């Protein structure tokens, strides 16, 4: 894949010429190691094309750029690969490569693209949602562009019906645009991991949205819900609000670790400096879901058993002692959890997410760090 990534990076060589290379069975790797004199046998290359290839091959950046790319949570496929979408192969001037987060559409299933105006009417909004939902219920994948208007409506209609939707982003796979669609970006990202209905809170908007609150309350009491929020204090407030609205429901709390950073779409970090769900790698999200006992697609969940009591926490100095609050913070950090959890929430989360051995190791680590 390193050589395919190299060829992709040569943006001054058109996709049309890259397709011709593919049609002539000249792979990216073959092109990279091709002797200089043989480059002249490729008749559709200009002298400038050959110069670009020779100069890039001589650079040390090829290996470095590939290593840097591998550190990102982004998939990569080219027209040399079987996974490349067949329908895209056959369009005029197809892109040589695609970058993606999550998964590509399933080739064995039908797909329908729904796109439209940004400034749509209320009727257009409703039709897009209803159409996308109806198609999704028939097992059809929905593809759109995540723009304002009809695109967003189509994605939302599909997700609300529990279907699979895919967004083609002009801004790059790791950049949410427009920024007000962040909730949708997160939702599509999660839908690649979970085969379930995903409801977004729209941040603190959930406080005023009575209809959505009632839906969440109903789901909690009938089939149970999973709560996943950002790891900062705002996320904790939203989590506690939902828990307070669903006192008689079955709730699984999923916690992601506090990781310092800034989402690409932002000019500055959040007020507390932590990455939101949007900025986390899918591997981190998948691990958090598994730890909470939530099975992701194609995998099984962890199974945990209650072992920790308040009495145990008191014996360990995390309740009732002079520095119990700080000790709880240290143990939570050692477990990769937000350090702002209350003692009650901490007890619930540890019993749900961790084994006794993991808890004991975290306590040991917290005490050792104090020495």
Residue 142, strand partner residues: 112, 165
CA separation for the pair 182, 112 (Å, rounded): 23
Segments of the chain with pLDDT less than 70: 60, 264-265, 296-306, 352, 371
pLDDT at residue 95, as a whole number? 94
User: Are the C-beta atoms of 65 and 9 separated by less than 8 Å?
Assistant: yes
User: Are the C-beta atoms of 309 and 344 separated by less than 8 Å?
Assistant: no
pLDDT at residue 319, as a whole number? 87
pLDDT at residue 12, as a whole number? 94
Two tokens at 153? 């409506």
CB atoms within 10 A of CB 232: 18
- If phi > 0 it is left, if psi is from -120 to 50 it is alpha, else beta; for residue 299 that is beta
**β-strands 97-100, 75-78 pairing:** antiparallel
Long-range contacts of 220-224 (CB under 8 A, 24+ apart): 220/246, 220/248, 220/249, 220/250, 220/251, 221/246, 221/248, 221/249, 221/250, 223/250, 224/249, 224/250, 224/251, 224/252
pLDDT at residue 60, as a whole number? 67
Closest CA to 151 of 122, 118, 127: 118
């Amino acid at each position: 894949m390193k050589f395919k990534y190299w060829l992709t990076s040569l943006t001054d060589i058109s996709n049309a010429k890259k397709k011709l290379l593919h049609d002539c069975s000249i792979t990216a790797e073959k092109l990279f190691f091709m002797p200089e004199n043989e480059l002249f046998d490729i008749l559709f290359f200009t002298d400038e094309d050959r110069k670009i290839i020779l100069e890039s091959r001589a650079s040390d950046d090829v290996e470095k750029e590939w290593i840097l790319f591998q550190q990102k949570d982004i998939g990569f496929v080219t027209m040399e690969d079987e996974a490349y979408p067949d329908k895209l192969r056959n369009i005029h001037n197809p892109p040589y490569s695609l970058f993606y987060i999550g998964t590509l559409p399933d080739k064995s299933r039908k797909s329908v693209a729904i796109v439209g105006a940004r400034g749509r009417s209320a009727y257009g909004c409703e039709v897009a949602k209803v159409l996308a939902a109806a198609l999704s219920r028939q097992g059809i994948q929905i593809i759109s562009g995540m723009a304002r208007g009809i695109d967003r409506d189509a994605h939302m209609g599909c997700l609300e019906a529990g279907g699979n939707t895919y967004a083609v982003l002009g801004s790059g796979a790791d950049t949410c645009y427009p920024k007000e669609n962040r909730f949708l970006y997160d939702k599509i990202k999660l839908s690649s991991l979970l085969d379930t209905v995903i409801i977004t809170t729209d941040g603190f908007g959930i406080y005023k949205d009575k209809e959505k609150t009632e839906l969440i309350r109903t789901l909690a009491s009938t089939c149970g819900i999973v709560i996943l929020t950002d790891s900062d204090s705002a996320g904790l407030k939203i989590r506690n609000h939902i828990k307070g609205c669903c006192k008689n429901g079955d709730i699984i709390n999923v916690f992601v670790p506090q990781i310092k950073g800034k989402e690409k779409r932002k000019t500055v970090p959040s007020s507390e400096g932590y990455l939101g769900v949007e900025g986390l790698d899918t591997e981190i999200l998948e691990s958090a879901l598994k730890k909470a006992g939530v099975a992701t697609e194609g995998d099984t969940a962890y199974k945990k058993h209650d072992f920790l009591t308040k009495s145990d926490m008191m014996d360990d100095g995390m309740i009732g002692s002079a520095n119990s609050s700080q000790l709880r913070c240290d143990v939570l950090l050692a477990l990769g959890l937000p350090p702002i959890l209350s003692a009650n929430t901490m007890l619930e989360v540890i019993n749900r997410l961790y084994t006794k051995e993991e808890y004991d190791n975290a306590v040991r680590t917290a005490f050792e760090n104090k020495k």
